Chain A
């Protein structure tokens, strides 16, 4: 599993970030599923479980069977929490895509283009997600 490319500082910190963000996302997903199934009034369907596991913010989970979502899950804390989760997850994912691209794309110019595209997509997903979370449209 170890990568045999040269290890400069940034590469090491991204490697470490991938592990640490994995811990965060595993804990957040498990906590969301446990909360939803403790307080849900009936057995939840698959999409409701997904909504709670990935993104517990009120507009995302208000159609699920958990009561009192609106006052409890709509405050600033959960919006900031979801924004952090979105940024961490996007960086984890797009950094992983960069590693995959570096493995399969060999021409340097093409690789640079693809990495630029990945960076643009990363920024767009983060920006669009923040707009949705804070309902700025």
Chain B
């Protein structure tokens, strides 16, 4: 069997419909969470151990509004899509309603992401900054 290797850019251009979109978004948001959380843990560690200005700057950047919106997008999308994959793997008959479940997932995601993201971006629920 010969495996076809698709590059990242080819995957973005692939017209595979909604399934390909949620799959690549799951990857992007997963890597995003990993990057931000690892950076946060390391910055907290070096800030406590060395008290260096770089860690302090990273922590300040981490608490800024665009990053908060991005973290919220990544975590909420990854959690909802992961929950859908989990349900489909635990109970395979649900795979008959695969597309409907994806639309349900977007129907939950858009208001649950959009409303708090709007408030965060307008600075309504962010104290301090």
Contacts and interface: CB of A to CB of B under 8 A. Distances in A.
A43 B23 CA distance: 35
A22, A26, A46, A100: residue with the most chain B Cβ atoms closer than 10 Å: A46
A34 interface: no
Interface of A: 1, 4, 19, 22-23, 26, 29, 43-47, 50, 54, 86, 89, 93-94, 96-97, 100, 103-104, 106, 121, 124-125, 128-129, 131-132, 137
Interface in B27-45: 27, 30-31, 33-34, 37-38, 41-42, 44-45
Nearest to B22: A1
B8 A96 contact: no
Nearest to A65: B127
Given A1-B88, A26-B83, A132-B48, A100 B68 contact: no
Chain A at the B interface: SS class: helix
B34 A96 contact: yes
B25 interface: no
A132 B47 CA distance: 10
Closest 4 CB pairs between A and B? A128-B45, A93-B34, A45-B127, A137-B48
Interface residues of B, number: 37
Contact of B38 (A29, A50, A125): A125
Contacts of A128: 41-42, 44-45
Interface string B72-110: 100000010011011011100000000000000000000
Contacts of B126: 45-47
B60 interface: no
B58 interface: no
A28 to B, nearest CB: 11
